[in-house]
Structure 1
Amino acid sequence: MVQKKQNVTIKGTKDGLIFILDDHCSYESLLEELNEKLSSKHYQQSEGPDVRVKVDIGYRYLQVHQQEELETMISEGRNLAVDQFESRVLSKEESEKLRQESQTVTLMRIIRSGQVLKVSGDVLLIGDVNPGGTLMASGNIYVMGALRGIAHAGCDGNHKAVVSASLLAPSQLRISDQIKHFDRDVDEERIMTSAYLDEQYRFHIGKVQQLVHSHPELSKNEAQLQR
């Protein structure tokens, strides 16, 4: 006898319960089986604190009223509380944000004193950042020129971001929330240099070639090379 495929799987974890909902069956079939399983005495109202529930809906897209319907079915009359719906479907806003974060913006200009330029994703600046100028990016910063102002890579919290410059002589470097100040009278100008944070979030500054070992993920488009 062929065993009927389950559309709803309920698993216990140390944090509560996970409801795994099949993303191929019809929504009506999902509701029917979910209601059947929740009708068990095991899930009826009992004393004690609410059990936290995470609902994994896979690649299924739920409209707002469907999500509310599922949450009501799970929690109403039971000591179950839905903490979150976990979906692998991206909204247009999330997709656009990922696209921006993965892109490299190329600029040809000089950032002068008092100017602040912020970019989503990586930025390749063909030009200089003058003293008093600021270049910010949510990703990595690459300057094909002199970096003498302020560079803030990973400005949205990315500790893996890097700063590279043909000539590195900044007044200040920032990576995520970490800051390093430079003294023009003490710190020398460095050619073809990169800066990044180590595992203890300390600044490491050295030749750009070191990124081959410390940040191999930077070669993200290497597969597109013709061989």
Structure 2
Amino acid sequence: MKAQKQQYATIKGTKNGLTLHLNDSCSFQELLQSLQEMLSSEYYTDSKGQKINVHVELGNRFINEDQKAQICKIIAAREELSVYSIESNVISKIEAERILEESEVISVAKIVRSGQILQVEGDLLLIGDVNPGGTVRAGGNIFVLGALKGIAHAGYNGNRQAVIAASVMTPTQLRIGSILNRSPDHYQEGDKNDMECAYLDENEKMVIERLQQLAHLRPNLTRLEGGIKIG
């Protein structure tokens, strides 16, 4: 009696399209062959004649860009299917190192003087002042335990949930993501004792509030990001 061939690729329908589960214990070539055989014997369509999104789940298998392209090519050979996402539980060493860097809290004790730029990949905790003409940039949030009198750019990688906070908020320019706010008219040095923060509201308008409001506005601020570059 002929043994039944093991199936290394399975697919099921969901409300978001199709989920394709690929076995993570077989060889990659066995996986490709199984995927090709399965798709050649199945027919997929929807009532509107539109392409169906396919979510590929690799389990504990890491693949490189070339292998990813091979999987996409086999799926795309079916005109009614379109690869929407490819997910794996395994990441590369480079990606792991990047995540580790971004999980650190970077604190710097210095004065950022005119012409200087202090840049971090994640969150910045600066213990000191940012003088006029000085710049601080962060991929995440910026917290200045001192006077912010220069330029601050939070979320420069596109993170519009980032915030900027300072003990004394008198900047020449604030930016969060791509949203720019030049020196607000209401900033007058010494007119307030409360630490203030800047954030983008639901309309992507920059708002200045007392720092105490952040606990409600950004409840996930307990996760700080890091990585540093000074130029």
- 1:167 has 2:185 as partner: no
Instruction: Look up the match of 1:147.
Output: 148
Question: Does the CA contact (< 8 Å) of 2:198 and 2:206 recur in 1?
Answer: yes
Instruction: Look up the match of 1:188.
Output: 188
Q: Write the distance in 1 (CA, Å) between the matches of 2:180 and 2:57.
A: 39
Gaps of 5+ in 1: 222-227
Q: How far did residue 193 of structure 1 move?
A: 1.2
TM-score (ref. length: structure 1):
0.76
Q: Label 1:149 to 1:33 Cα distance change in 2 as closer, same or farther (>3 A).
A: same
Instruction: Give the secondary-structure state (helix, strand or coil) at the position aligned to 1:103.
Output: coil
Amino acid at match of 1:164: A
Q: Label 1:34 to 1:131 Cα distance change in 2 as closer, same or farther (>3 A).
A: same
Q: How far did residue 51 of structure 1 move?
A: 7.1
Instruction: Look up the match of 1:59.
Output: 60
- 1:99 has 2:107 as partner: no
Q: Label 1:127 to 1:50 Cα distance change in 2 as closer, same or farther (>3 A).
A: closer
Q: Deviation per CA, 1:185-219, whole angstroms, max 9, x where unpaired? A: x5223431111111111122122111111111112
Amino acid at match of 2:221: L
Q: Label 1:74 to 1:102 Cα distance change in 2 as closer, same or farther (>3 A).
A: same
Q: Label 1:41 to 1:137 Cα distance change in 2 as closer, same or farther (>3 A).
A: closer
Q: How far did residue 41 of structure 1 move?
A: 6.8
Amino acid at match of 1:19: L
The percent of aligned pairs where both chains have the same amino acid is 45
Amino acid at match of 2:133: G
RMSD: 3.2
- 1:9 has 2:19 as partner: no
Q: Write the distance in 2 (CA, Å) between the matches of 1:26 and 1:10.
A: 19
Instruction: Give the secondary-structure state (helix, strand or coil) at the position aligned to 2:220.
Output: helix
TM-score (ref. length: structure 2):
0.75
Amino acid at match of 1:114: G
Instruction: Look up the match of 2:87.
Output: 87
Question: Does the CA contact (< 8 Å) of 1:60 and 1:87 recur in 2?
Answer: no
Q: Write the distance in 2 (CA, Å) between the matches of 1:181 and 1:74.
A: 49
Instruction: Look up the match of 1:225.
Output: none
Amino acid at match of 2:199: Y
Instruction: Give the secondary-structure state (helix, strand or coil) at the position aligned to 1:37.
Output: helix
Question: Does the CA contact (< 8 Å) of 1:49 and 1:79 recur in 2?
Answer: no
